[in-house]
Structures are given as C-alpha cells and as structure tokens.
Amino acid sequence: MTKQNVVVSGTKSGISMAIAVAVTNSALFTTASQKPPAVPGTYFSISKKKLLQNLEINTGAKINSWVDSMRASSPTHLKSTPPLSSDDQSSSTLHHPSALDMFEQITNASKGKQIVMFLDYDGTLSPIVEDPDRAFMSDAMRAAVRKLAGCFPTAIVSGRCRDKVYSFVRLAELYYAGSHGMDIKGPSKGSKHKKGAQAVLFQPDTANEFLPMIDEVYEALLEKTKSTEGAKVENNKFCVSVHFRCVDEKKWVELAQQVKSVLMDYPKLRLTQGRMVLEIRPTIKWDKGKALEFLLESLGYANRKDVFPVYIGDDRTDEDAFKVLKERRQGFGILVSKTPKETSASYSLQEPGEVMNFLQRLVQWKRRCLGEFEDSLKT
C-alpha cells in the first residue's frame, strides 16, 4: 500500500492543505479475483483470461502487442468477428444481466443506504463519435443527470481533462474527476449532499511536475503523427490521448511505432489502452478506482456500511473502479457494451440510451420512496 497527497481547498477561506490518502497498487488490464458483491443479481463467475498485453513502455512492450490491443478495442474488428453462439450469449446474460431487467433487485439491495453515482462520459453519457471534440451529450441526457444529482451525490469520472468534460456536461452541481481521476473538483455552486462548505480539489502528490513533460509529449506527438490520416492527439492535462478511431487499420502499426518513438525518451510515462485510444499517463499509482475511493472519503462515506456506490462505464479504464467496488463488497458496477466482455462489473447496459433510461427510473424510484415516507409522517 502506498500513500498519495491530496489538496483540499476551502471555498470560503481559500486555504489549501495536503492530506495523505492510502491507496493500493493494482496491475493494468487484469480482472479482480475476489467474489462479487453480495447484492441480488451479482451471481456470476468469470474465468480470468488475459485479453491484453501490459502496455507500459518501461517494461518493453512490443509493437505487435500494442496493435493487438488496438484491434481488440476496435468496433470494426468486433463486427468482423464470428457471431456468438446461443450458449455464449446466454452465459453473458447470466453473468452480466441487464440493469434494467434487474432494476427491482438493485433498488431492493440499496434500501436504507446512501446511493452515490459515478458516471463515465464518452460511450456512457454520450455516444462514441469520430471526432472526440464533438462528443456532445443530448439535452435529454443532461436533464436526466441533473435530476439524478438532485437525488444522489453524482460524479463524472473521465479520461478527458476536467475542463473539457465540464464543457460537455455543463452541470455545476456535480463532482468532476478528469484525467482518469488525477484532477478532481467538487460542485461549484454547492451540493446538499456535502457537509460543510469545502470544494474538493485533488491532484496526486508530484503530479504537477509531469505537466511540462505532458506538454512536450503532446507537441511531439502532434508533429510525429501528422502523416497518419485520421489520428487525433488530445492534451488532457495529466495525460495525452492518441485517438485512432478514424485511422485505417492498415496504418495502426505505423501509428504505434510513431507513439513508441516519442515515448522512448520519457521513462516516467506509461502507455495504456482505452476504447479506440492510446493514452500516455504519468507513472503515478492513481486511477478511476482511486478517484472513486477519494470521493467517497470526501463525502464522509469512507468507512460507512450504509453507502451504496454505483459506477457506470464502458471503457477498460473503468475496470479499476469496478474492481474497487467488488473488493469493498459495496454497490456494483455497470458495464456499457453491446458485446460480451470480461469485466468486474455486475450488470450491463447496451448503450447511452439505456443508461439514460436507467438513470430516469432511479430518480422516479427515489421520488416515490420520498413520497411514501412523507405520507407515513402524516398518518
């Protein structure tokens, strides 16, 4: 177990102080071997298959393993694979039942507990689009998330930089964790779910020292990849993303070689794989799972048994959060995917439309419970 320093800033006093948060180490691209949370519907057993190679530069990952990982995350590749047998489909449904179909069991498991919502952005609240700068969420989804935040503490956890994801969501009452949880900010206009007047501001200890390095890599990758049609490089403050969703598969080896040639000079950075994106990140022991734990602590739920975290995401980087929930044996994760995947999530939803439906039903359920409680006080 290691410790990271965080900064908590008071909105009124403007005073910042560093505190230590204990975090555990976790390997990249592995699934948790622990038993699933003891809640209805989490009745699955998944074999531990290693789908991806470790992509860290300083371990000497080879180009072909990078390309294999790029191919594994490609919707085009998924479409070209043989259709699943009926047995495989039935197994996937059994192991990761629809959160909509199991809604009653989910809400029953959460009764008497404080639900805390964690939501990925791309592929969860907005569809995956060719141009990542145009990954806009619909007005209906924004309305659903606003109502959700009125009922439960709600955080957006994204690989995007915090400012970028906020520009998409535009809801001041939420918590935002950008750069895979390395940049966290609390509600700018206050939240009825947070005791006290502090706004959470977090960055891992020594993270700022990586900023010049990240900027250098961003500029170098812009120059190096400009010959690869469709490649898009994005500076997400504490990480650099190289999107290849518009790159011809025949050019993936070329793109991987370009990325490797730049990163060879930066041993303090590592390469990880997301959904149709290569991500260059600092070698800091921090991820979306650590961000989830930090936010629960900042909300006062770190050691409470009556908290019920729900994390919804579609990306490999969301697995860190899914695994944390399994280890805590509290709440559950929901994977957003149209195809069966090995995951530590307990339930599934197929696409953002189903996510919105689930969030709307959750708000309706909460309001109905509150109405019943108020009626009971009158009798």
Report residue 24 as tokens.
């555990």
Q: Distance between CA 322 and CA 26 in Å, rounded?
A: 12
Collapsed DSSP state (helix, strand, coil) of residue 364: helix
Residue with tokens 């204990």: 22
- Beta pairing class for 114-119 and 154-157: parallel
Q: Which of 87, 88, 101, 120 is catalytic?
A: 120
Q: CB–CB of 193/299 below 8 Å?
A: yes
- Catalytic residue check, 120: yes
Which of 299, 358, 287 has the alpha carbon at shortest distance from 324? 287
Q: In the numeric block, which tokens belong to residue 248?
A: 């011809």
> In the chain, how long is the greatest CA-to-CA distance?
73
The DSSP symbol for 210 reads G
CA 7 from centroid of its chain's CA atoms: 21
Please name the residue that has the structure tokens 């303090």.
268
- Other CB atoms within 10 A of residue 238 CB: 25
Four-residue CA torsion sign, 368, 370, 375, 379: positive
Beta-carbon contacts of 82 under 8 Å, excluding residues fewer than 6 positions away, are none
d(CA 208, CA 26): 22
Structure token pair of residue 16: 């910042």
Contacts of 306 (CB under 8 A, 6+ apart): 112, 113, 114
Provide the β-strand partners of residue 178. 183
CA torsion through residues 28, 34, 36, 38, sign: negative
Q: Which residues are designated catalytic?
A: 120
